[in-house]
Chains A and B, each alone.
Chain A
Amino acid sequence: MPVASPLSFSLLLIASLAIAAPAGAQTATSTFSANLGGIAKLSFSSNALSFPDADPDTVPLIAAAGGAITITAKARASLAATVTLTVLAADDLRSGVETIPASALTWTGSGAGFVNGTVSRATPQVVASWTGSGIRMGTQTYRFQNSWSYRTGTYSVSLLYTLVSP
C-alpha cells in the first residue's frame, strides 16, 4: 500500500522550503499531502484461556485461571468510521465426540468501548467498538458455565477475533 510515511513527508517539505526561501519577490504555493490508509492491529496479553474443574453447585460460573485478557486494538480509520472488534467461536467446545455449546462461554468487558457478551459459533459477537483512529485497550474476563450435565473430558475451542477498520 503506497502510503507516504511521516519521514518522507518531512524531507519533501524541507526540500521545498529550501528552494523557495530565496525567492523574495516571487511566491509559489505547493500543497503536500500524505494519504494515510486504513490499518488495523490486534494483540492479546495471552492467547490461551484455561478453566479448571469445579463443583457445579458451588461454582456455577468458573473464572478463567489466568484472569482477564487484555486486548490492544490499533486502528486507523476515517474520522467518523466505526472500528469494530468481534469474536466468533470456531466450533463448540469439544472433547473427542463430546461437545459443550460455545454459548457456555460468557465475558464481561471493561474499558472504553468494550461490552459484555456471550460467545457464539454462528454469529460474530461484538467485543468492542469505537469511532475513528486510535489505540484502544480493554479487558475481557471470561467465565465458563458449569453444569452437572457435562460429560468428563478436556474441552477446547478456538476463539477467532476480527478487528475491522473501514
Chain B
Amino acid sequence: MKKAVWSGIIAAAGVLAFSTSVYAQQTANGTVTVTANVNAKAKLTINGLATTSISFADADPDASPTVTANTALAIAVKARTAGNGAVTLTVRGLNLTSGTDTIAISALKWTSTGANFAGTGTSATTEVSVMSASGSGNYAGSQTYTLDNSWAYATGTYATTLTYTLTAP
C-alpha cells in the first residue's frame, strides 16, 4: 500500500516536473488587404449651379464706357486626374443678338481672381481659357464680366449664351 501511495506522489511530482510554466507573451497576427478605387471625375458649378445668368443695365456710353454685370460668377472646378493631368476650363459664346441686331461677343470681357484663373479675358466664338491647372483638386475663382458700351449699338435687349467647358483627362 505504501508503494501505491508513493507511486501516486511520484506521478504527481512527475506531472509538476514536466509541466513547465510558460508565461511568455503570446501574439497572433493577421493581415487585411485594403483596395480603394479612385476614378477620374470633373465637376463644374457657377454660382453653385449648372446654369446661371448675368445681366447688364443700360448706361450712358460717355459716363460708363463699360458696364459691369449685376453679379460676379463664383466658379468652382473640381477634378480628379491621373498624375499631373491638365485641368482646363474654357468659355465660348455666340454674338449677342436682339432680333436681327447684334453686338460682337468680343464686347464681353472679364476679370478673374483665384489661383490658376486667367486674370483677364475677352469672349470669343472659339474657346478662350478661363482657368488651367495641373492635377487633381478643387479650384475656385471669381469671374466678373463687363460689356463694352457704345453709341453704335441699336437699342434692344441682347442675349447670348456662354458655354463653359471643363476638361480633365
Contacts and interface: CB of A to CB of B under 8 A. Distances in A.
A133 to B, nearest CB: 11
B78 A148 contact: yes
B27 interface: yes
A12 B34 contact: no
B36 A156 contact: yes
Given A3-B19, A26-B5, A50 B35 contact: yes
Interface of A: 1-4, 12, 15-16, 19-20, 22-23, 26, 28, 30-35, 37-44, 46-53, 55-57, 62, 69, 73, 75-78, 93, 95, 98, 100, 104-105, 142, 144, 148-166
Interface stretch (B6-14, B55-63, B117-125, B144-152): B6-14
A42 B79 CA distance: 42
A151 B135 contact: yes
Contacts of B82: 151-153
A1 to B, nearest CB: 5
Given A57-B78, A93-B34, A156-B36, A32 B12 contact: yes
Interface of B: prevailing SS? mixed
B4 interface: yes
Contacts of A57: 43, 78
B12 A16 contact: yes
Interface in B101-140: 135-138
B23 A44 contact: no
B136 A151 contact: yes
Given A38-B25, A153-B82, 9 more contacts: A15-B11, A16-B12, A20-B4, A32-B15, A153-B38, A156-B35, A161-B31, A164-B25, A164-B26
A2 B25 contact: no
Contact of A149 (B18, B19, B21, B136): B136
A158 to B, nearest CB: 5
B49 to A, nearest CB: 14
Given A148-B80, A151-B83, A163 B11 contact: no
B50 interface: no
A33 B14 CA distance: 11
B11 A152 contact: no
Given A19-B4, A51-B35, A98-B83, A30 B30 contact: no
